[in-house]
């Protein structure tokens, strides 16, 4: 049986609304037709996508796994539907992928500067992600250049490290630890922690800074650094993140250096191609290198080559 895109759209709509009726109305289907279409999709996949109980449909474990793939597939389908309109556009397009936690203070200002510099001829797209879906988003949101702590390696991506970011313990100023200018793991061993989700590679890295943390000390597992920092602001716990992400902590919080020589690489990455990077993409690297240097984080030789004063020695990409 062929899998229909409309059936996948229906599935996504049900997953997002929790209601077969709401999803069928959105797609202009009768309830009976929608129910039949969902049953056919489950038969085609050989799995039960929803737990049917009360008045709401809740994703099953298999349904949750399928939703991640289906959601990206439907975004890619939308790109296909709009392909003709994009081809007629007169502006050059710079497609970027960035991590949410570095967006406000680092990548967004840099991309905006480049856009303003070429405002008559350039259009930018900014795809904002957490780390775990950054790479896979390329199918639904292709990018020309990306920035962030992408810890995984991929055969179809060029990746260059711009800087090694030191780690910070972020605490509320209501927390007694905020009086310290530097902390060791022994200083925060009894604190309650807000951690990143288990499936994020950054979590595995920061776990090395909390080796004796008990399960009872973990008061929250969050997929977003920004949300974790908001919880810290409310003194719900402490959080470990990199220095670039910690720039944006509020006046109610303090980002404290950790007395452990652990860093996380901040990289620029782009799809492998014979064409190399265009000039606007290189300008973005240059602006971000300037931003990183301004906050006192040492750049790698690659990062230094993109400083404006080193433009003549810029890496060949």
Token code pair at residue 67: 């939703």
Residues 168-177 pLDDT 10s: 999 999 999 9
Residue 93 CB neighbour total at 10 angstroms: 13
Q: 21 Cβ partners below 8 Å, 6+ apart?
A: 31
Q: How many domains does the chain have?
A: 3
* Claim to verify: residue 257 and residue 218 sit in the same structural domain: yes
Determine the Cα–Cα distance for residues 285 and 267; give it in Å rounded to an integer.
10
* Claim to verify: residue 178 and residue 158 sit in the same structural domain: no
Token code pair at residue 80: 């296909």
* Claim to verify: residue 137 and residue 66 sit in the same structural domain: no
- What's this model's pTM, rounded to 2 decimal places? 0.70
Residue owning tokens 């497609």: 95
* Claim to verify: residue 169 and residue 256 sit in the same structural domain: yes
Domain boundary among 84, 102, 125: 84
Buried b (16+ CB within 10 A) or exposed e, 23-39: bbebeebeeeebeebbe
* Claim to verify: residue 157 and residue 273 sit in the same structural domain: yes
Instruction: Using the predicted structure, report yes or no on whether residue 310 has a pLDDT greater than 60.
Output: no
Q: 170 Cβ partners below 8 Å, 6+ apart?
A: 229, 232, 238, 239, 240, 241, 246, 249, 253, 254, 255, 256
Domain containing 236 equals 164-263
Beta bridge partners of 56: 53
Using DSSP's 3-state secondary structure scheme, residue 76 falls into helix
Residue owning tokens 């510099």: 117
Tell me the CATH number at 126. 3.40.190.10
Question: Is residue 156 exposed (0-12), middle (13-18) or buried (19+ Cβ within 10 Å)?
Answer: exposed
Give me the helices (H) in the chain, please.
Answer: 5-17, 20-26, 31-45, 61-81, 83-87, 100-102, 108-117, 201-207, 225-233, 243-246, 279-294, 301-304
Residues 91-149 pLDDT 10s: 888 999 998 888 888 999 999 999 999 988 999 999 887 655 566 666 667 889 999 98
* Claim to verify: residue 176 and residue 259 sit in the same structural domain: yes
Share the mean pLDDT of the chain.
87
Determine the Cα–Cα distance for residues 313 and 275; give it in Å rounded to an integer.
20
Q: Which pLDDT score, from 0 to 100, does residue 79 have? A: 73
* Claim to verify: residue 76 and residue 100 sit in the same structural domain: no
* Claim to verify: residue 179 and residue 302 sit in the same structural domain: no
Residues 158-209 pLDDT 10s: 999 999 999 999 999 999 999 999 999 999 999 999 999 887 878 888 899 9
DSSP-derived letter for residue 118 is T
* Claim to verify: residue 297 and residue 150 sit in the same structural domain: yes
Residues 218-273 pLDDT 10s: 999 998 898 999 999 999 999 999 999 998 787 899 999 999 989 999 999 998 87
Question: Is residue 96 exposed (0-12), middle (13-18) or buried (19+ Cβ within 10 Å)?
Answer: buried
Token code pair at residue 29: 């289907």
* Claim to verify: residue 250 and residue 281 sit in the same structural domain: no
Going by pLDDT thresholds of 50, 70 and 90, the confidence category of residue 86 is: low
Token code pair at residue 150: 């992408």
Q: Which pLDDT score, from 0 to 100, does residue 39 have? A: 92
Determine the Cα–Cα distance for residues 47 and 67; give it in Å rounded to an integer.
13
* Claim to verify: residue 269 and residue 254 sit in the same structural domain: no
């Amino acid at each position: 049986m062929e899998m229909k895109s409309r059936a996948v759209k229906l599935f996504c709509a049900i997953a997002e609304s929790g209601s077969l009726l709401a999803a069928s109305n959105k797609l202009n289907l009768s309830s009976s037709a929608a129910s039949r279409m969902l049953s056919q999709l489950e038969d085609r996949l050989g799995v039960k996508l929803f737990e049917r109980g009360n008045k709401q449909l809740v994703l099953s474990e298999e349904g949750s796994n399928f939703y991640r793939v289906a959601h990206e597939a439907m975004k890619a389908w939308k790109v296909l539907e709009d392909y003709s309109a994009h081809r007629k556009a007169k502006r050059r397009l710079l497609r970027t992928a960035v991590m949410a936690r570095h967006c406000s203070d680092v990548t967004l200002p840099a991309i905006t500067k480049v856009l303003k510099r070429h405002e008559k001829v350039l259009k930018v797209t900014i795809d904002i992600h957490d780390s775990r879906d950054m790479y896979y988003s390329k199918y639904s949101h292709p990018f020309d250049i990306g920035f962030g702590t992408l810890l995984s390696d991929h055969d179809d991506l060029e990746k260059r490290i711009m800087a090694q970011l030191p780690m910070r313990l972020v605490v509320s100023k209501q927390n007694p630890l905020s009086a310290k200018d530097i902390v060791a793991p022994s200083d925060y061993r009894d604190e309650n922690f807000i951690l990143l989700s288990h499936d994020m590679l950054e979590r595995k890295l920061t776990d090395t800074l909390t080796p004796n943390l008990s399960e009872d000390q973990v008061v929250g597992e969050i997929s977003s650094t920004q949300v974790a920092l908001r919880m810290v602001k409310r003194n719900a716990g402490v959080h470990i993140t990199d220095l670039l992400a910690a720039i944006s902590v509020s006046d109610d919080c303090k980002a404290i250096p950790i007395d452990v020589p652990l860093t996380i690489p901040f990289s620029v990455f782009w799809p492998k191609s014979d064409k190399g990077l265009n000039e606007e993409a290189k300008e973005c690297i240059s602006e971000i290198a300037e931003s990183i240097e301004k906050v006192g984080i040492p750049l790698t030789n690659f990062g230094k080559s993109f400083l404006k004063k080193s433009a003549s020695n810029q890496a060949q990409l």
